[in-house]
Chain A
Amino acid sequence: MADPVPFAHLKIVELSSDPAGEMLGKYFAGMGAGVAKLEPEGGAASRAVGPYRSGAEGPNDSLNFWFYNANKRSVTADLGTASGKDRLGRLMADADIVISGFQPRELRSLGLDWDAVASAHPRLIIVSVTPFGLTGPWADRRSSELVALALGGPLHMCGYDDHGIPPILPGGNQAYNTAAIFAYKAALLVLIDREQTGSGQLVDISMHEACAVTVELGNPYWFYSRAIVQRQTCRHAQPVMTQPAIFECADGRYVFLALMLSEQKPWQALVEWIDSHGMAGHLTEPEFSEYAYRQARYSEVQAIVECFFLVIDADTAFQEGQGRGLPVGMINSPEELLSDPHLNARDFFVEVDHGAAGTFRYPGPPYQFSAFSAAPAGRAPMLGEHDDKA
């Protein structure tokens, strides 16, 4: 940890309590920036969201808050009062970046005007991360993880082959995460710009727009083919329904493998693999080396592959399949990651000291650099923990 962290000189004020603005602050804090999270006296709303540490429930024990606020400082201020506004003003005067989650109506009610703040502090970078952006007919509408993924387009593509079942919400706050990473990229661009021009900028990020361009094939199929893709169980939504790509294994776990019958090399590898378990049956017959022949017998192939996975466990399927050059993916649960030999060989997880509560493992930084390192992994702050220093 002797290497310098790249953001050690940056001072950031965070005015956000949703995972988008908080994740943005976490990206900076994780690389050494000083992030002061400004919270109301009763604590940020994110402290009141579960899950909680077992046996504890309070503003300092929300695992939601822990996850999104690691390495930050907590300073309390009520922005509805003169003293709170004064504290924000003093923090902004000294800051490089302000992160805001306020929608336009909230800004007006708080008497906050980003254009005026920008004029008063020309080097300041203001990153606004809101559900719909600061402009446009929906700027003051309500959103949430589910509603953002619905309006933005990703949700339409996620669910089951049975279209009587509604589209199903993917887990982990991904609409907020998508807004956060775009906000981070935009903030980095403006930091680079400021090195050249000396001036900050206001950056306006919309979670809705970030989701609307994070649908992979969804938009291109509309742009070019005027086709609407159809959701399919745990595989790509496409203009037509395709064959299943997840397979249950002997231990009840699933693996992902897309059967690409058109490519000869993976086909041969698959047949040899199944044959090594004595289960390939007539797939070894020479006619099956013809693409058209096996394509016409797709359901037979599918049935044999399904039977094959049902007699080996998922870890065997993953290791043996990958050993034969096949892109098999094991569908891991969160707790299984903690004992993953590859992740542990890379020292991916970091230990975070939570004092009396204990020391717990967190995901490490999502990027590694030879020239500099992440900040030492720190915990989220207690409510008002850094009031004295403010």
Chain B
Amino acid sequence: MTGKNHAPEPLPGRLPRPRSGPLAGIRLADFCWMGVGSIATRFLGDFGAEVIKIENRQRIDTPRRLPIYKGVVRSYGEEDPNPDPDKGGLHNNYSRNKLGITVDMRQPEGQALVDELIRKSSVVTENFAPGVMERWGLTYERLQELSPDVIFARMSGFGHSGPYESYRSYGPVVQAACGLSFISGLPGQPPSGWGFSYMDNQAAYHNSAALLMAIYNRMLTGRGTEIDVSAVEAGIGLLGPVFLEASVNGRVTRAERYPTGNRPEHPKAAPHGVYPAAGEDRWIAIAAFDEADWVALTDAMERPGLRDDPRFATLDDRIANADALDAKIAAWTQTQDPHAATELLQGAGVCAGTVQNARDLNEIDPQLAHRGIFFELDHPVIGEARFEGEPMLFSRTKPDNWRSAPLLGEDNRYVYREILGMPDDMIDEYAERGII
């Protein structure tokens, strides 16, 4: 590959410009990759921070490689052996509003470039396996020498101490280790757990929050900090009251028919379940917590006679006879369109909702459309694409969605020339030698 390709002039309309938002003026030297790290720093970029994603041409980031491509349906284990790193939709979704540079950290000139970038940054972020940053000498002590009052965020599965420090993890492993998989499923069956890396999202959200806490604290005190977030520990904090049943009451969930699927033990409710609707794999969730809900539901279903059945007389009766009750509810729901039944039941004041898939969210849901959660940006290789926005509306603050995700090394020329002050001929030489 020629040096020109490694350090192109900025494309028209994609030149980085000053950002707006509460984090404008904060620059991140961002070593994050994969899911957790990319989602964590995306939030800061969305609200004005200048996030400079540092990439390695020898080890292309997984979201760039996963085969989520326009017009192609392939599962994420079936990646192209030689993929175009600029075509991946997951990377586009995770790294919009970031700048992208490449550097080879095995070459001393590459390490020197990163040192210079850290000198010009006030936040450094990473989610490598433990030991990688240390191998490059990039400890918190060293970072403080380069950038006094720096914030150094370290995101990992098990945290940066303890006997499992070096253990490998990704979303499903974290969900298993923290208990979230175990508490999800039908009694007497293997856990159904999670159909996605929920803890990649949640660990990322907690990492974003920790970064904001550190930035706020630095505004007040002038002091930076090192941050250690263990995804497993963040997950344990999300277990809820069942954790206290173990620690306070000594409950042994492993010895019981637990968990209880769509009929949770608390708060009390019946009917409470996911019922078949008309159509292929279509379902509707219904939750009735008290007598008023029961009356409203049976009236809306035009089955008031169910209230005369002694098996369903009180909430406790309905819970005790949940199998028979669910059969009655399902007999009604299975003839209903899920969206129409949701309208009918919500109109009657019943807590109910279609089990929506991504098409429903994007094409049908009027609430999401009204609030504008999804947005579009153009991309030089992918073209126009849709993005998940940040689910929050403010009086004044708005996300600054200035650009889709960077092409591999797209901002080399801009960052090395405009931020680090390197002359063009030196950038060309570094590109020729594969340092960038």
The answer on a CB contact under 8 Å between B216 and A191 is yes
The answer on a CB contact under 8 Å between B371 and A133 is yes
Q: A332-B177, A360-B247, A366-B234 are in contact. Are A118 and B395 (CB under 8 A)?
A: yes
Closest B residue by C-beta to A361: B247
The answer on a CB contact under 8 Å between B358 and A172 is no
The answer on a CB contact under 8 Å between B68 and A158 is no
Closest A residue by C-beta to B251: A335
Minimum CB–CB distance for A342 against chain B, Å: 4
- Kindly identify which residue among B189, B254, B355, B359 contacts A155, using a CB–CB cutoff of 8 Å: B355
Instruction: Count A interface residues, CB 8 Å.
Output: 155
**Of residues 128 to 169 in A, which have CB atoms within 8 Å of B's CB atoms?**
132-133, 135-139, 141-160, 163, 165-169
The answer on a CB contact under 8 Å between B173 and A327 is yes
Closest B residue by C-beta to A218: B358
Minimum CB–CB distance for B234 against chain A, Å: 4
Bitwise interface map of A from 324 to 362 toward B, beta carbon under 8 Å scored 1, else 0? 011111111111111001110110110000000010111
The range of chain B's interface size is 35 or more
The answer on a CB contact under 8 Å between B176 and A330 is yes
- Kindly identify which residue among A136, A155, A182, A365 contacts B285, using a CB–CB cutoff of 8 Å: A155
Provide the residues of chain A in CB contact with B434, threshold 8 Å.
none
Q: A256-B172, A371-B225 are in contact. Are A222 and B362 (CB under 8 A)?
A: yes
Give Cα distance in the complex from A186 to B354, angstroms.
28
The answer on a CB contact under 8 Å between B357 and A156 is yes
Determine if B417 is an interface residue (Cβ-Cβ < 8 Å): no
**Of residues 145 to 183 in B, which have CB atoms within 8 Å of A's CB atoms?**
158-159, 161-164, 167-183
The answer on a CB contact under 8 Å between A49 and B174 is no
Closest B residue by C-beta to A127: B392
Q: A151-B354, A189-B22, A216-B198 are in contact. Are A172 and B370 (CB under 8 A)?
A: no
- Kindly identify which residue among B196, B249, B356, B365 contacts A216, using a CB–CB cutoff of 8 Å: B196
- Kindly identify which residue among A50, A138, A203 contacts B366, using a CB–CB cutoff of 8 Å: A138
Provide the residues of chain A in CB contact with B186, threshold 8 Å.
160, 165, 168
The answer on a CB contact under 8 Å between A334 and B242 is yes
The answer on a CB contact under 8 Å between A174 and B244 is no
The answer on a CB contact under 8 Å between A234 and B361 is no
Determine which residue in A215, A237, A331 has the highest number of CB atoms from chain B within 10 A of its CB, and name it: A331
The answer on a CB contact under 8 Å between B209 and A169 is no
The answer on a CB contact under 8 Å between B68 and A170 is no
Closest A residue by C-beta to B363: A222
Provide the residues of chain B in CB contact with A136, threshold 8 Å.
366-367, 370-371
The answer on a CB contact under 8 Å between B77 and A260 is yes
Determine if A78 is an interface residue (Cβ-Cβ < 8 Å): no
Determine which residue in A49, A217, A220, A348 has the highest number of CB atoms from chain B within 10 A of its CB, and name it: A220
Minimum CB–CB distance for A334 against chain B, Å: 4
The answer on a CB contact under 8 Å between A209 and B371 is yes
Provide the residues of chain B in CB contact with A214, threshold 8 Å.
198, 201-202
**Of residues 10 to 65 in B, which have CB atoms within 8 Å of A's CB atoms?**
22-23, 35, 43, 47
- Kindly identify which residue among A53, A160, A173, A204 contacts B392, using a CB–CB cutoff of 8 Å: A204
Give Cα distance in the complex from A63 to B382, angstroms.
50
Determine which residue in B76, B286, B371, B387 has the highest number of CB atoms from chain A within 10 A of its CB, and name it: B371
Provide the residues of chain B in CB contact with A210, threshold 8 Å.
391
Provide the residues of chain A in CB contact with B254, threshold 8 Å.
253, 333, 335-336
Provide the residues of chain A in CB contact with B340, threshold 8 Å.
none
Provide the residues of chain B in CB contact with A204, threshold 8 Å.
392-394
The answer on a CB contact under 8 Å between B266 and A50 is yes
Provide the residues of chain A in CB contact with B70, threshold 8 Å.
224-225
The answer on a CB contact under 8 Å between B178 and A236 is no
The answer on a CB contact under 8 Å between A169 and B247 is no
**Of residues 247 to 262 in B, which have CB atoms within 8 Å of A's CB atoms?**
247-254, 259, 261-262
The answer on a CB contact under 8 Å between B196 and A254 is no
Determine if A309 is an interface residue (Cβ-Cβ < 8 Å): no
The answer on a CB contact under 8 Å between A371 and B89 is no
Minimum CB–CB distance for B347 against chain A, Å: 9
Provide the residues of chain A in CB contact with B195, threshold 8 Å.
154, 157-159, 229, 231-232, 235-237
The answer on a CB contact under 8 Å between A234 and B371 is no
Give Cα distance in the complex from A352 to B311, angstroms.
43
Provide the residues of chain B in CB contact with A181, threshold 8 Å.
202, 205-206, 209
Determine if A297 is an interface residue (Cβ-Cβ < 8 Å): no
The answer on a CB contact under 8 Å between B229 and A363 is no
Determine which residue in B191, B220, B249, B254 has the highest number of CB atoms from chain A within 10 A of its CB, and name it: B191
- Kindly identify which residue among A135, A142, A171, A217 contacts B370, using a CB–CB cutoff of 8 Å: A135
Determine if B142 is an interface residue (Cβ-Cβ < 8 Å): no
Minimum CB–CB distance for B385 against chain A, Å: 6
Bitwise interface map of A from 191 to 219 toward B, beta carbon under 8 Å scored 1, else 0? 11101100101111110111011111111
Determine if A268 is an interface residue (Cβ-Cβ < 8 Å): no
Provide the residues of chain B in CB contact with A262, threshold 8 Å.
77, 79
Minimum CB–CB distance for B331 against chain A, Å: 15
Q: A151-B356, A228-B357, A369-B214 are in contact. Are A170 and B209 (CB under 8 A)?
A: no
Provide the residues of chain B in CB contact with A233, threshold 8 Å.
190, 192-193
Q: A182-B391, A214-B201, A242-B75 are in contact. Are A329 and B236 (CB under 8 A)?
A: no
Provide the residues of chain A in CB contact with B392, threshold 8 Å.
182-183, 185-186, 203-205
Determine if A109 is an interface residue (Cβ-Cβ < 8 Å): no
The answer on a CB contact under 8 Å between B224 and A371 is yes
- Kindly identify which residue among B162, B182, B227, B351 contacts A346, using a CB–CB cutoff of 8 Å: B162
Closest B residue by C-beta to A367: B210
Determine if A258 is an interface residue (Cβ-Cβ < 8 Å): yes
The answer on a CB contact under 8 Å between A334 and B246 is yes
Determine if B104 is an interface residue (Cβ-Cβ < 8 Å): no
Further 19 A-B residue pairs, CB within 8 A, beyond A146-B285, A147-B351, A367-B206: A63-B241, A64-B241, A143-B351, A150-B353, A158-B193, A168-B186, A168-B261, A177-B238, A203-B393, A209-B391, A216-B35, A228-B358, A234-B181, A239-B73, A337-B243, A342-B158, A362-B243, A365-B237, A369-B225
Top 3 A-B residue pairs of the complex, sorted by shortest distance between their CB atoms:
A329-B176, A171-B183, A157-B195
